[in-house]
Amino acid sequence: MASASAELPQETILIGIGASPGVAIARSHLLNRDRVGGIERRILPAEVDAEIAGFQAAVARSRAQLLEVKEQAADHHAEHLYIIDTHLLILEDQLLINATVDLIRAELLNAEGALGRTLRRLRQVFDSISDEYLRERRSDIDSVGDRLMRNLLGEVRENLEALSGQAIIVAHDLSPADTMQLDRGKVVGFVTDVGGRTSHTAILARSLVIPAVVGLENVTTQVASGAPMIIDGTTGTVILNPSPETFRDYLARKQRYDYLERELLVYQTLPAETEDGHVVALRGNVELPADIATARSHGVEGIGLFRTEFLFMAASEPPSEEEQYLAYRTAAEAMAPHPVTIRTLDVGGDKFVPELNLLDEANPVMGLRAVRFSLKEGVLFRTQLRAILRAAAHGNVRVMFPMISGVAEIRACRNLLEKVRQELAAEGVPTGPLAVGIMVETPAAVLIADIMAREVDFFSVGTNDLIQYCLAIDRGNEHVAYLYEPLHPAVLRALQRVCSAARDAGIEVSICGEMAGEQLYSLVLIGLGFSELSMNPASIPRVKRLMRQATLDSARRLVERLLTLPTAAEVVAELEAEMRRRFPQIFDEGQI
């Protein structure tokens, strides 16, 4: 007799991109969101029965729906009942049902893919029939096929609401909107086929403090829904069907991680300065007003980036001036006297908002997004500026414009801001002083940073986009994620150029891309001369701990050395060696 353990699924380790740190241990929950019906995917033999059961449930549901339609039509449209009867017959047709079930079993195809393939074959058969009447019956097959497919996909969708306990979501992709709606009580982590470290889904995961691994390429084809799994979002490791030893090991890691998190909170109240007294402001990036409380608990000195587009994604209608005013005012009051840096709407690219991004652009990342959209659209921009100016009466508020690529855009924004201020003054509505800055995230802005610096009060470098545009690497594309190198010599030089332009002009320079929150880069950023690092608030205690053990002088010398190296690999090797030498304990904790 075979032993029971021989039949247990094998432990499998997958390596992806660690998108949000921490360890999660739970059952998987496979989600097929945004799938076009009929997409083929291989399944595991162990999944065959569940896939067939799902398909048969869809057949049963379709049948029940048709019977209901028949009942309702019986009184008024009796002459058409034969159509429904035909459809009911098709639902019993062996060529459709058995063929699909056979494909699932023989080809290890998912139900949706098998149904799609069967339907295509049936259509071909009908297309080749010479009798016109019979050929026209194809539409009946289409109609039944659509109904079946909808029920099949619908069943998968409903599953998320039906989560019975804690789960790790496994999805091909999760949009930022999907991620925002995850039930924090139940979803303890997620993994996706696509995405990179700086995709907005990854950023949101960090801000929601949910461990996540992205860019696994085909995790959805490898995981059976309900299978036990472990994810380590710090290292990008995913373990399917862990053995008892692995399980124990990761449980210990999880406890250690959670313990370190708590221990780090002592840094919340300590000043953010180097050993030799150089002060760098550590600010938080937030997406929604609700994040402000978490940001405060991590010891932020103000908000360096308020991504306002999430206010627009959270509802089906753009927020009104009053709603925005209240959100910005609440943030300003909560943070005073520290600043709240409100970035105007940055939609487009992967922050797609269907109600706003109406164009079908071939290359939306380089399309009508961010400030380009705001300037062209006008009405929303004006409303947002009014809300920001009004909130400025209640605290230390700054405004910044995203994706600026030339001085003309800055002037257009400033002109509009001035007009809106005059309008409010004429209406007798109070406003406050407002520092005006720009996001430096296009190569053009870097190249003319010296000219731009004369036009604004501060710069904030958005490295997530700057790296993407500088190296021509889509930040959300897992296939080129290996080329997304924050320490590429071109990126280092770009950062150096921006910092020195800001210094020469005497304006503040912040960095609010994801680089700012990674300890590996902290010394480099301080040495380059950034006066503010703005990051996911949960990263602040770690960055502060590291900063308090470093000196400005040594950080500068490190940067000088790194700037002489010709490849990203050499820069990384040199930096890691230095960090390992100087912070062995933090390095060994796997925190750098």
- Which among 512, 513, 578, 583 is positioned nearest to 542, based on CA atoms? 583
Burial 226-253 (b: 16+ CB within 10 A, else e): ebbbbbbbbebbbbbbbeeeebeebeeb
| Four-residue CA torsion sign, 456, 461, 465, 470 | positive
Nearest distance, CB of residue 108 and ligand PEP, angstroms: 39
Secondary structure E strands in 402-542: 435-440, 458-461, 508-511, 532-535
Instruction: Report the distance separating Cα 274 and Cα 340, nearest Å.
Output: 24
Q: Using CB positions, name the residue nearest to Mg ion.
A: 465
108 Ramachandran zone, left/alpha/beta (phi>0; psi -120 to 50): left
Nearest distance, CB of residue 588 and ligand PEP, angstroms: 30
Residues 513-542 that bind ligand PEP (CB under 6 A): 513
Of 156-164, 281-289, 392-400, 440-448, which segment contacts Mg ion by CB under 5 A?
Answer: 440-448
Query: Strand, helix or coil at 228?
Result: strand
Instruction: Report the alpha-carbon angle 517-521-526, nearest 5.
Output: 95
- Which among 343, 346, 409, 399 is positioned nearest to 375, based on CA atoms? 409
Residues 75-94 that bind ligand PEP (CB under 6 A): none
What is the rounded radius of gyration, in angstroms, for the C-alpha atoms of the chain?
A: 28
Closer to ligand PEP at the Cβ: 116 or 284?
284
Nearest distance, CB of residue 283 and Mg ion, angstroms: 16
Helices 463-471, 489-505: crossing angle, 10 deg rounding = 130
Candidate residues 272, 303, 512, 547; the one interacting with ligand PEP per rule CB under 6 A: 512
Binding-residue total with Mg ion (CB under 5 A): 3
Q: For residue 382, what are its two tokens? A: 């004006």
Closer to Mg ion at the Cβ: 238 or 370?
370
Secondary structure E strands in 135-226: 167-171, 187-192, 212-214
Closer to ligand PEP at the Cβ: 220 or 464?
464
Instruction: Report the distance separating Cα 84 and Cα 550, nearest Å.
Output: 76
Binding mask 437-476 for ligand PEP (x = CB under 6 A): ----x--------------------xxxx-----------
Query: Strand, helix or coil at 212?
Result: strand
463's contact among ligand PEP, Mg ion, none, with CB below 5 to 8 A by partner kind, is ligand PEP
47 binds Mg ion (CB under 5 A): no
Binding mask 425-444 for ligand PEP (x = CB under 6 A): ----------------x---
Distance of CA 194 to the CA centre of its chain: 10
Of 102-110, 255-263, 439-447, 471-479, which segment contacts Mg ion by CB under 5 A?
Answer: 439-447
388's contact among Mg ion, ligand PEP, none, with CB below 5 to 8 A by partner kind, is none
Closer to ligand PEP at the Cβ: 178 or 465?
465
For 273, phi then psi, to 5°, come to -150, 160
518's contact among ligand PEP, Mg ion, none, with CB below 5 to 8 A by partner kind, is none
307's contact among ligand PEP, Mg ion, none, with CB below 5 to 8 A by partner kind, is ligand PEP
What's the Cα-to-Cα distance from 529 to each of 35, 188, 190, 440, rounded to whole Å?
Answer: 46, 38, 36, 15
1: which strand partners?
A: none
Nearest distance, CB of residue 400 and ligand PEP, angstroms: 10
Binding-residue total with ligand PEP (CB under 6 A): 10
Binding mask 334-353 for ligand PEP (x = CB under 6 A): ------------x-------
Of 32-40, 225-233, 434-442, 448-456, which segment contacts Mg ion by CB under 5 A?
Answer: 434-442
Closer to ligand PEP at the Cβ: 66 or 495?
495
Closer to ligand PEP at the Cβ: 239 or 388?
388
405's contact among ligand PEP, Mg ion, none, with CB below 5 to 8 A by partner kind, is none
Nearest distance, CB of residue 512 and Mg ion, angstroms: 9
Closer to Mg ion at the Cβ: 250 or 312?
312
- Which among 528, 529, 511, 527 is positioned nearest to 459, based on CA atoms? 511
Nearest distance, CB of residue 479 and ligand PEP, angstroms: 20
Instruction: Report the distance separating Cα 575 and Cα 552, nearest Å.
Output: 16
Residues 6 or more apart from 555 whose CB is under 8 A from it? 274, 523, 524, 526, 527
Binding mask 296-335 for ligand PEP (x = CB under 6 A): ---------x-x----------------------------
Q: Using CB positions, name the residue nearest to ligand PEP.
A: 462
513's contact among ligand PEP, Mg ion, none, with CB below 5 to 8 A by partner kind, is ligand PEP
Q: Which residue has the tokens 């304006």?
A: 507
Nearest distance, CB of residue 345 and Mg ion, angstroms: 12
Nearest distance, CB of residue 441 and Mg ion, angstroms: 5
- Provide the annotated active-site residues: 200, 512
Candidate residues 301, 309, 465, 514; the one interacting with Mg ion per rule CB under 5 A: 465
- Which among 469, 580, 571, 428 is positioned nearest to 519, based on CA atoms? 580
Nearest distance, CB of residue 305 and ligand PEP, angstroms: 6
512's contact among Mg ion, ligand PEP, none, with CB below 5 to 8 A by partner kind, is ligand PEP
Candidate residues 299, 302, 437, 462; the one interacting with Mg ion per rule CB under 5 A: 462
Contact criterion met (CB below 8 Å) for 178 and 212: no
Nearest distance, CB of residue 364 and ligand PEP, angstroms: 13
Residues 6 or more apart from 200 whose CB is under 8 A from it? 176, 350, 351, 476
Residues 6 or more apart from 546 whose CB is under 8 A from it? 519, 522, 523, 583, 586
DSSP state of 401: E
Closer to Mg ion at the Cβ: 189 or 462?
462
Q: Which parts of this chain interact with ligand PEP (CB under 6 A)?
A: 305, 307, 346, 441, 462-465, 512-513
Q: Which parts of this chain interact with Mg ion (CB under 5 A)?
A: 441, 462, 465
